[in-house]
Structure 1
Amino acid sequence: MPLNRAGNVLSAVLCITVFLFATVGAEDPYRFFNWNVTYGDIYPLGVRQQGILINGQFPGPDIHSVTNDNLIINVFNSLNEPFLLSWNGIQNRRNSFEDGVNGTTCPIPPGQNFTYILQVKDQIGSFYYFPSLAFHKAAGGFGGIRILSRPRIPVPFPDPAGDYTVLIGDWYKANHTDLKALLDRGKKLHFPDGILINGRGPGGASYTVEQGKTYRFRISNVGLQHSLNFRIQGHRLTLAEVEGTHTLQTSYSSLDVHVGQSYSVLVTMDQPGQDYYIVVSSRFTTPILTTTGVLHYSNSAGRVSGPPPGGPTIQVDWSLNQARSIRTNLTASGPRPNPQGSYHYGLINTTKTIRLQNSAGLVDGKQRYAVNSVSYVAADTPLKIADYFQIQGVFRVGSISSNPTGGGIYLDTAVMGADYRAFVEIVFENTEDIIQSWHLDGYSFWVVGMDGGLWTTASRNQYNLRDAVSRVTTQVYPKSWTAIYLALDNVGMWNLRSEFWARQYLGQQFYLRVFTPSTSIRDEFPIPKNALLCGRAKGRHTRPL
C-alpha cells in the first residue's frame, strides 16, 4: 500500500477510535495532522547538510490551535533510525505517556508511524516542538506551536494585523550524525558556525508588514547552546506573552531569548516606509555571532543599508535586570476568564525545597554533565511505561538526591520522587562560568527570584511573591541561582533538563516522578491504547482498541 494511503487509512481508524473511546472531553474540537518525517538536503549556511524535514519542510509546519483543542498528530517515520517528537511547553495534563521523550515514550521505528493524541488543556501561548532522540535537533524537525484564547476569553491587546512565528537558534555546518559521534567519543562541541532565523542564514528571512499596523512575533530559541538577543532596527518590542502567561506590556529595544525559551512581542510599524534589519546575535560568547533578516514595509522606498544595529554582548547585569522586569499581568485573563492574578502563589506554604546544582567533568575519560552529581543514562525501557506495568529493575526512585552532594560525577538513571499536589520550591544553583537554561515538561512554574552568588535561606527575602512570571523554561546566570515555585498538580513522569543540548545529551537531566496511589482517571489517564511498547515492555498489552 502506498505510504500516503497507508498513513491516511491508519489515521482514519485512529480518529474513529479517538471519537469513540478518548477520555478527553467530547465537546472540545479536534484538529488532525498527518506528518511524514524524512531526510533532505538543506543549505542554511551555504553548505549542503542532511536535514530532517516534516512534510518536506524545514523548519516543520506550525501547529495552530485554540485552548482545550485535541491535537491528533500522525507521525510516519521515514528515517533509517528511531524518531520521536516532543512538545516544548505543552503540559499533556494527566498524560505523560504522550510527552515524546525517551523516559516516557517508545521511539517510532523506521518505516512505522505513531499517532500522538494531545490536548492543550487550559493553555494559551507560544511554544514549539522538536525531535528529542539522538542529536536530531541539530538537523531540524522543529516547528512552532501557537495556542489562541477561546473567542469568549478577553485578550489584553487588540488583534494584531499579522501573527508570525520566528524560530531562532545557533547552527552547525556539520551533520547531526557527526556532532553526535563527537559527543559519543566524549568530546565537547566546537563553537557554532552561525545563527538561523526560520531555517535561513543571513538575509534569508523576511516579513512583509503594512505601515501603521501592529504585528505579533512569536520568538522561540530552538538552538542547541547559546542565548540570543533579538531586535528590529528602529522599532520597539512590546512584550505581550511569555510561554503561556500574558505579561505586563513593557517596551524593550531588544530582548534576550535564552535557549529553549519563547516570547511574544507586539511591534507597531511606526517608521518611514522602507526596509529594516531584524538582528539576532549571540550573548555571553567570544566571538559574537550575528545574523539578519528583513522587515519589509509594503510601501518600502528602499532596501536595508548600512551596518545592522548593535546590541548587548557579554553584559550579564543588563540581561538579569531585563529578566527581573518581566512580570505577570495580574488583571488579564489566561486560558480561563478569571484573572491570572487570582491564584495567589505567594501565600502558599512550600512543602519541600529541592536544590539542583549543575556540574561538568570526566567519567572514564569522557566528557559528562550532571545534576547533583548524577549524569543521566537512558534505561532500556521508557520509565513511564515500566512504571505503568510495574516492571522491576528499570529505575529506582530516589536515585538522585534533592540536594547537591558535592561528590564526583557518576552515571545512573536518575529519578526523583515527588508527591502529587505538593507545592515545592526548586533552586537551580549554577556554580559554573556558563549561562544555564532549564526546562520542565508537564508544568509551568513561577520564577520567584534570581541573583548572583550563592543561594541561602536569606535569599527568600528578595523573592517576588506577587506577580512573578509563570513559564516553562528559565535561565540561570553564571555563578548565580534562580528559584521557582511549582504546584505539583500533574501526575506523571516528567523530564527536567538542561536546554544546552550537548549537556542534556551527555547526562544533564533527570525525571521527576509525580506520584499518587490513586488509579482514577481524574488524576491520571491510563496508557494510550495505541502506545508503542519496547524494551522490557515488549509483548505486553495496552487497553484493547
Structure 2
Amino acid sequence: MTRGAIFALVLCLMGAAVMGEDPYLYFTWNVTYGTISPLGIDQQGILINGQFPGPEINSTSNNNVVVNVFNNLDEPLLFTWHGVQQRKNSWQDGTLGTQCPIAPGTNYTYKFQVKDQIGSFFYYPTVGMQRAAGGFGGLRINSRLLIPVPYADPEDEYWVLIGDWYGKSHKTLQSTLDSGRNIGRPDGVHINGKNDVVGSGKAIYTMKPGKTYKYRICNVGLKDSLNFRIQGHPMKLVESEGSHTVQNIYDSLDVHVGQCFSVLVTADKEPKSYYMVASTRFTKKALTGKAIISYTNGVGPASPLIPLAPVGWAWSLNQFRSFRWNLTASAARPNPQGSYHYGQINITRTIKFVNSVSNVNGKLRYAINGVSHVDTETPLKLAEYYGLSDKVFKYNIIGDVPPASLDNIKLATNVLNTTFRTFIEIIFENPTKTIQSYNLAGYSFFAVAVEPGTWSPEKRKNYNLLDAISRHTIQVFPKSWAAIMLTFDNAGMWNLRSENAENRYLGQQLYISVLSPERSLRDEYNLPERQLVCGIVKDLPRPTPSYS
C-alpha cells in the first residue's frame, strides 16, 4: 500500500470516529385509503405510498431508521415496529400508551435504532382495528458484514406475509366490537395481500433451478394460527424472531399470530409452478390462501392437489418443542448466541397472567388477571415523564398472582411496575378453548416451556434451560400454559398484548413500566424534542430532562 493510500485510510478511520453514529436510513410514507382485494373482491384498505402490503424496511443491525409518516386517513394513526426492541426508546413504540396518535392531515417522524438485532419482523398500524385494513409490511434486519451468518448467502430473499382476512371494513369491525358483540370468523386467508383461488398461473416469485432462496414468513393476521407449506419443497428453518435456530427441516410450519420465521428453500424439483399454501388451524372449517411460485424455466402449471395441513394442536406443540437456539452461531453482536446462559440466572420474581372473557355491562370484554385494559387520553409514558401518573393511572392494580375467581372483569388502565434489570419469570395460563398469542414490546424473551394443563412450581423441571429460542411472541394453547424468562433491562413503558386483534382491542393487554433508578441516558432517552404531546400535558411546559 502506498503512503498516500495509507494516509487516505487513516483519514477515513478518523472521520468514522468523529461521526460516531451508525448509518441512517430515511423513509417517507404517505398513508392513504385505496382499493384492495385480498379475497378477490374490492374493498377499502390502508395503503402506504400506494402499496399493499406496505414497502419493506430493509435495514442492517445498528442502523438508525427514520420514517416520516404523513397521515392522509380520516382518523388518527400510529405504527408499531413489531419485534424491534428499540433500546431505551419506548417513545417510538407506536402504541396509545406511549405515543399521541398522528392526527389526520398531519405528519410525525419516527426515529429508532435496530440495535443489536437481526431477523424478520414487520410493522402495522395499532389504532383501533386498522390492522384489519392493511398498513402492514416487512421489516428486515440484516446481519452486519463482520458478523458471520450460519448459512450461505441465498440467491434472493422473498417476503411471505400471511394472515386471515375479513371482507368487512375495519371501521365496521370496530363498530361491531364497540356494540358489545364479537366479529365472528374471518372470511378468508391472504398471502401478500392476495389469494389465488382461481389458479391464475401468475407467479409472485420465481426461482432459478438449483438455487436456494430465503423466505421470510410472518403471520400478520388478526385471529388465526396458520399452517404454511410449499408444494413438494421442504423448508430449512434458519431464523425465528431474531434468533438463529438449529437448522431442522420441515414440510410445514405452524405460524401463530404475530410470529415470523425465515426458511431456506432449494429449487431442486421438476421445473414448473408450485403453490404456496396458508390455511387456518384449530378452526371447524379451514380457510385457505394460495399463491404461485415458479421456476424460471418452468413449463407446467401447479398441481391442483394441495398438501394437507396437520390436524390438532398437539402436533403444533411438538413442533414448538423442536425449535432450538443455535448455540454455535454468532448473534447480532460478535459473540455466540449461546454465551448468554439464561438458565443459570436466579429468578427474582414470578408473575402469572391468566386471560379471561366475560360481559361487562352487557358488552364483551377480554382481560388479564381480571382487568380489562382501557386506554387513556394521555399516553401513560407521557404522564409518567411529566410526574402526573397519579392523575392518569394507578400502578399494580393486578398482583403477581391472579385472583381466585376471574368471573368478574374490571375495566381499568392496567400498568405493572417492575424493577430495572431483574430476571423475571412470566407464566401465561389459558383456561379458554381458543389459542392465545402474546407479544411483549421492547424485549426478547426465552420461551422455555409450553405445556397442557395448569402451571405449578414443580413444572420448572420441564423447562428448557439450555437452548430455548430468544423471541418476542409466544402462543398459549387451549387449556394450557407457557413460561418465558427475561431480564427487564430495557427502560421504558412497554406493551404486553394479545396478538388477537379482537382480544387486544377489548382489553387483553397491559403496560409494563421499567424505570431506571439512576436516571441515566445510558438507560433511557429523554422526551424527544419533536414528540407529540396530548391529554392533560398538552399545554404544559416541557419538564426539565429527566435523564442526564
What amino acid sits opposite 2:354 in the alignment? Q
Q: Which runs of 5+ in 1 are unaligned?
A: 1-24
Q: How far 1:151 sits from its partner (Å)?
A: 0.4
**Alpha carbons 2:40, 2:194 under 8 Å: kept:** no
**Alpha carbons 1:260, 1:437 under 8 Å: kept:** yes
Q: How far 1:492 sits from its partner (Å)?
A: 0.6
Q: 1:79: which partner in 2?
A: 73
CA RMSD of aligned residues (A): 1.4
Q: How far 1:542 sits from its partner (Å)?
A: 4.5
- Does the alignment pair 1:516 with 2:513? no
Q: 2:56: which partner in 1?
A: 62
Task: Give me the whole-angstrom Cα distance separating, in 2, the residues matched to 1:439 and 1:27.
Answer: 30
What amino acid sits opposite 2:194 in the alignment? R
Task: Give me the whole-angstrom Cα distance separating, in 1, the residues matched to 2:305 and 2:387.
Answer: 61
What amino acid sits opposite 1:361 in the alignment? S
- Does the alignment pair 1:132 with 2:126? yes
- Assess, with a 3 A threshold, how the Cα gap between structure 1 residues 122 and 542 changes in structure 2: closer, same or farther: farther
Task: Give me the whole-angstrom Cα distance separating, in 2, the residues matched to 1:244 and 1:43.
Answer: 31
What amino acid sits opposite 1:256 in the alignment? D
**Alpha carbons 1:169, 1:195 under 8 Å: kept:** yes
Q: How far 1:134 sits from its partner (Å)?
A: 1.0
Instruction: Select which of 84, 104, 108 maps to 2:102.
Output: 108
Q: How far 1:393 sits from its partner (Å)?
A: 1.4
- Assess, with a 3 A threshold, how the Cα gap between structure 1 residues 233 and 379 changes in structure 2: closer, same or farther: same
- Assess, with a 3 A threshold, how the Cα gap between structure 1 residues 540 and 45 changes in structure 2: closer, same or farther: same
Instruction: Select which of 161, 170, 173 maps to 2:167.
Output: 173
Q: 2:157: which partner in 1?
A: 163
- Assess, with a 3 A threshold, how the Cα gap between structure 1 residues 185 and 303 changes in structure 2: closer, same or farther: same
Q: 1:146: which partner in 2?
A: 140
**Alpha carbons 1:531, 1:542 under 8 Å: kept:** no
Q: 1:344: which partner in 2?
A: 341
Matched position secondary structure for 1:451: strand
Q: What are the superposed Cα offsets for residues 276-299 of structure 1, whole Å, 9 maximum, x if unpaired? A: 111111000010011111120001
Q: 2:361: which partner in 1?
A: 364
**Alpha carbons 2:420, 2:517 under 8 Å: kept:** no
Task: Give me the whole-angstrom Cα distance separating, in 1, the residues matched to 2:115 and 2:303.
Answer: 46
Task: Give me the whole-angstrom Cα distance separating, in 2, the residues matched to 1:411 and 1:180.
Answer: 18
- Does the alignment pair 1:452 with 2:452? yes
Task: Give me the whole-angstrom Cα distance separating, in 1, the residues matched to 2:215 and 2:378.
Answer: 40
Task: Give me the whole-angstrom Cα distance separating, in 2, the residues matched to 1:355 and 1:374.
Answer: 13
- Does the alignment pair 1:28 with 2:28? no
Alignment of 1:354-433 (within 5 A): 354-391=351-388, 392-405=390-403, 406-407=405-406, 408-433=408-433
Q: How far 1:179 sits from its partner (Å)?
A: 0.4
**Alpha carbons 2:68, 2:108 under 8 Å: kept:** yes
Q: What are the superposed Cα offsets for residues 376-417 of structure 1, whole Å, 9 maximum, x if unpaired? A: 000110000110011131111112222111241110000011
Q: How far 1:477 sits from its partner (Å)?
A: 0.7
Q: How far 1:469 sits from its partner (Å)?
A: 0.4
Task: Give me the whole-angstrom Cα distance separating, in 2, the residues matched to 1:492 and 1:331.
Answer: 32
Q: How far 1:476 sits from its partner (Å)?
A: 0.5
Q: 2:277: which partner in 1?
A: 279
Matched position secondary structure for 2:383: helix
**Alpha carbons 2:203, 2:294 under 8 Å: kept:** no
**Alpha carbons 2:241, 2:260 under 8 Å: kept:** yes
What amino acid sits opposite 1:352 in the alignment? R
Q: What are the superposed Cα offsets for residues 7-40 of structure 1, whole Å, 9 maximum, x if unpaired? A: xxxxxxxxxxxxxxxxxx8430000000010011
Q: 2:5: which partner in 1?
A: none
Task: Give me the whole-angstrom Cα distance separating, in 2, the residues matched to 1:231 and 1:494.
Answer: 34
Matched position secondary structure for 1:401: coil
What amino acid sits opposite 1:106 in the alignment? C
Task: Give me the whole-angstrom Cα distance separating, in 2, the residues matched to 1:427 and 1:211.
Answer: 47
Q: 2:8: which partner in 1?
A: none
**Alpha carbons 1:70, 1:117 under 8 Å: kept:** yes
Q: What are the superposed Cα offsets for residues 83-114 of structure 1, whole Å, 9 maximum, x if unpaired? A: 00001001110010110000001000111000
Q: 2:300: which partner in 1?
A: 302
Identical positions, percent: 54
Q: How far 1:150 sits from its partner (Å)?
A: 0.4
**Alpha carbons 1:529, 1:542 under 8 Å: kept:** no
**Alpha carbons 1:436, 1:477 under 8 Å: kept:** yes
Q: How far 1:307 sits from its partner (Å)?
A: 2.1
- Does the alignment pair 1:319 with 2:313? no
Matched position secondary structure for 2:475: strand
Q: 2:230: which partner in 1?
A: 232
Alignment of 1:144-293 (within 5 A): 144-202=138-196, 203=199, 206-293=204-291
Matched position secondary structure for 2:481: strand
What amino acid sits opposite 2:70 in the alignment? F
Q: 1:9: which partner in 2?
A: none
Aligned length: 521
Q: How far 1:529 sits from its partner (Å)?
A: 0.8
- Assess, with a 3 A threshold, how the Cα gap between structure 1 residues 58 and 205 changes in structure 2: closer, same or farther: farther
Task: Give me the whole-angstrom Cα distance separating, in 2, the residues matched to 1:339 and 1:205.
Answer: 39
Task: Give me the whole-angstrom Cα distance separating, in 2, the residues matched to 1:486 and 1:542.
Answer: 34
Task: Give me the whole-angstrom Cα distance separating, in 2, the residues matched to 1:222 and 1:328.
Answer: 24
Q: How far 1:433 sits from its partner (Å)?
A: 0.6
Task: Give me the whole-angstrom Cα distance separating, in 2, the residues matched to 1:400 and 1:124.
Answer: 35
**Alpha carbons 2:386, 2:543 under 8 Å: kept:** no
Q: 1:10: which partner in 2?
A: none
Task: Give me the whole-angstrom Cα distance separating, in 2, the residues matched to 1:205 and 1:211.
Answer: 15
Task: Give me the whole-angstrom Cα distance separating, in 1, the residues matched to 2:93 and 2:279.
Answer: 31
Task: Give me the whole-angstrom Cα distance separating, in 2, the residues matched to 1:541 and 1:77.
Answer: 26
Task: Give me the whole-angstrom Cα distance separating, in 2, the residues matched to 1:43 and 1:291.
Answer: 13
Alignment of 1:47-58 (within 5 A): 47-58=41-52
Q: How far 1:221 sits from its partner (Å)?
A: 0.3
What amino acid sits opposite 2:282 in the alignment? F
What amino acid sits opposite 2:401 in the alignment? N
Instruction: Select which of 106, 110, 115 maps to 1:121.
Output: 115
**Alpha carbons 1:349, 1:423 under 8 Å: kept:** yes
Matched position secondary structure for 2:391: coil
Q: How far 1:344 sits from its partner (Å)?
A: 0.2
What amino acid sits opposite 1:364 in the alignment? N
Matched position secondary structure for 2:466: coil
Task: Give me the whole-angstrom Cα distance separating, in 1, the residues matched to 2:500 and 2:20.
Answer: 39
What amino acid sits opposite 1:359 in the alignment? S
What amino acid sits opposite 2:113 in the alignment? Q
Runs of 4 or more above 4 Å deviation? 541-545
Matched position secondary structure for 1:504: helix
Tell me which moved more, 255-264 or 386-395. 386-395
Q: How far 1:317 sits from its partner (Å)?
A: 1.1
Task: Give me the whole-angstrom Cα distance separating, in 2, the residues matched to 1:208 and 1:46.
Answer: 23
Q: What are the superposed Cα offsets for residues 494-518 of structure 1, whole Å, 9 maximum, x if unpaired? A: 0000001100000000001112222
- Assess, with a 3 A threshold, how the Cα gap between structure 1 residues 205 and 504 changes in structure 2: closer, same or farther: farther
TM-score for the superposition, normalised by structure 2: 0.93
Q: 1:8: which partner in 2?
A: none
Task: Give me the whole-angstrom Cα distance separating, in 2, the residues matched to 1:320 and 1:301.
Answer: 39
Q: 1:11: which partner in 2?
A: none
Matched position secondary structure for 2:502: helix
- Does the alignment pair 1:540 with 2:534? no
